[in-house]
Amino acid sequence: MLKQTLQINNIDDYLYYFIEKANEQSFEIRFPQVKERILQNCAELKNRIASIDGRNFFQHLAQINGLESEIWILIEMCSIADSEGASIFSEEEILTIAQNDFKTYFKEKCGINILNTPPHSLHFLTK
């Protein structure tokens, strides 16, 4: 059975998952600074997408990919826990890792060594 394909028809569809994830009780209680960063990145994504035109598309796309990468790192890092369910990383460590590693996130997710040049694809543009 094939899984349903992803449907994103507008900015609200795109941001819905991230905002819902950030508003989960676990983020509110355990990671309030991470929640705030995710929501800030969502607001910035909305602004970047709204300001795209033919002259600035590539610059904005690189920034959009970077913001999304950082959100994914934040979400994934917060879900890593020890056997008792306690976070392995402090909130400050999670924020620092996301800020430092967002440029290589999509390469790593695709199994590309971070030292190698990525394929010629818009997917790997980050800024």
> What pLDDT was estimated at residue 83?
62
- Distance from C-alpha of 70 to C-alpha of 100, rounded to nearest angstrom: 9
Q: Which H or E run includes 46?
A: helix 32-50
Residue 35, SS3? helix
Q: Which residues contact 15 (CB under 8 A, 6 or more apart)?
A: 42, 45, 46
pLDDT tens by residue, 3-42: 778 888 999 999 999 999 999 998 989 999 999 999 999 9
> What pLDDT was estimated at residue 7?
87
Residue 101 · residue 40 · CB < 8 Å: no
The mean pLDDT value for 100-104 works out to 95
The mean pLDDT value for 79-103 works out to 87
> What pLDDT was estimated at residue 88?
85
